[in-house]
């Protein structure tokens, strides 16, 4: 597999690059800024998602993509539009033209951030974005559906919670994703023969869980890391919220308060 990792200079990519290299032997990295500390087996090609020619040149060099590149938090509309809407279209269109086989898309919990925390949602619930950023992820999931159903790409959307070595606060106890578990999900998206168009949740074994991840389980996902191992220290450092705090009612946390 000739694997391309976009957003390769970013926080998530930096955490999973060693694991991808171990599993796949070589990885083509791309970003608009140079990633640090390239290893044997890693090649970097600079490209801006907003430049179709640059993205087309990238797609000629791969047959599978983990797409992490783009705006990764709430932002004004213009950068979201350029990177996550038009930029993602450039990725899918170049993938189609160059017959790329598979795309793993880094979607986000913020595509469903306006669901309250006291209900459990699955992959079949309609999106409820909490931000312009969340809307762009909902768009990205839908765009993947179009290219899967119309053009035969195999598309795997992962609604990522929060990628880190450990849950960093009370909210992350429910949505934390260890980098090893993320790579396990990516491998399902890149390798599983039944993947046509899938959307799964990207979290480790978390309590309390807000997401029913049965589709990921059906495809073989078995997270190795559990948030409850960190419960005492996380809850001691992050006291319970006061009543009526909207950022504690909804799954998207403080993103629901963004203007
Ligand atoms: N960090 C998390 O826990 C988390 C949670 C949910 C979803 N995600 C998603 O995972 C992906 C990676 O997240 P991250 O935290 O590493 O983000 P990040 O902001 O650290 O990295 C994103 C990378 O994309 C690159 N980029 C931005 N615009 C670009 C453009 N126009 N052309 C080329 N490259 C561009 C940036 O240079 C950056 O290196 C994002 O798509 C994000 O939405 C991350």
Ligand 1 atom closest to 82 (CA): 31
Alpha-carbon span 164 to 183, nearest angstrom: 12
Q: Is the CB of 134 under 6 A from ligand 1?
A: no
pLDDT on residue 236? 92
Mark out the alpha helices in the chain (DSSP H runs). 11-24, 52-59, 77-79, 87-97, 132-151, 172-175, 179-191, 214-218, 231-237, 246-249
Query: Does residue 160 have its Cβ closer than 6 Å to ligand 1?
Result: yes
How far does CA 200 lie from the centroid of its chain? 10
- Which stretches in the chain have pLDDT values below 70? none
Residue nearest to atom 9 of ligand 1 (CA): 106
229 close to 204: Cβ distance less than 8 angstroms: no
72 lines ligand 1 (CB under 6 A): yes
**How many domains would you assign to the chain?**
1
**Exposed/middle/buried for residue 75 (C-beta within 10 Å: 0-12, 13-18, 19+):** middle
Domain CATH number, residue 253: 3.40.50.720
Distance 206 CA to ligand 1 centre (A): 23
Q: Would the pTM count as exceeding 0.85?
A: yes
| Structural domain containing residue 11 | 3-257
Give pLDDT tens digits for 175-199. 999 999 999 999 999 999 999 999 9
**Residue-wise pLDDT tens digits, 21-72:** 999 999 999 999 999 999 999 999 999 999 999 999 999 999 999 999 999 9
pLDDT at residue 119, as a whole number = 95
Residue 72 sits at φ, ψ, to 5 deg, of -115, 5
% of the chain surpassing 90 pLDDT: 96
Predicted pLDDT at 78: 98
Q: Is 133 a catalytic residue?
A: yes
Tokens for 183, please give them. Answer: 């790579």
Ligand 1 binding pocket includes 9 (Cβ within 6 Å): yes
């Amino acid at each position: 597999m000739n694997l391309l990792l976009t957003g390769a200079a970013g926080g998530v990519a930096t955490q999973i690059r060693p694991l991808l290299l171990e599993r796949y032997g070589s990885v083509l990295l791309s970003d608009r800024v140079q990633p640090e500390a390239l290893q044997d087996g890693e090649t970097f090609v600079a490209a801006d998602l907003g430049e179709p020619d640059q993205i087309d040149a990238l797609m000629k060099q791969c047959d599978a993509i983990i797409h992490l590149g783009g705006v990764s938090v709430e932002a004004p509309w213009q950068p979201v539009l350029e990177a996550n809407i038009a930029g993602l279209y450039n990725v899918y269109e170049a993938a189609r033209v160059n017959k790329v086989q598979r795309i793993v898309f880094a979607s986000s919990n913020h595509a469903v951030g306006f669901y309250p925390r006291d209900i459990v949602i699955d992959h079949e619930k309609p999106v409820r974005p909490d931000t312009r950023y969340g809307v762009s992820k909902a768009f990205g999931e839908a765009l993947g559906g179009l290219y899967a159903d119309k053009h035969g790409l195999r598309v795997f959307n992962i609604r990522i919670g929060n990628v880190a070595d450990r849950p960093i606060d009370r909210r992350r106890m429910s949505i934390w994703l260890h980098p090893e578990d993320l790579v396990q999900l990516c491998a399902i998206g890149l390798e599983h023969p039944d993947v046509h168009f899938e959307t799964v949740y990207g979290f480790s074994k978390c309590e309390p869980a807000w997401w029913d991840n049965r589709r990921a389980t059906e495809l073989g996902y078995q997270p190795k890391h559990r948030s409850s191992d960190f419960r005492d220290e996380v809850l001691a450092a992050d006291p319970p919220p006061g009543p009526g705090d909207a950022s504690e009612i909804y799954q998207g946390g403080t993103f629901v308060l963004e203007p």
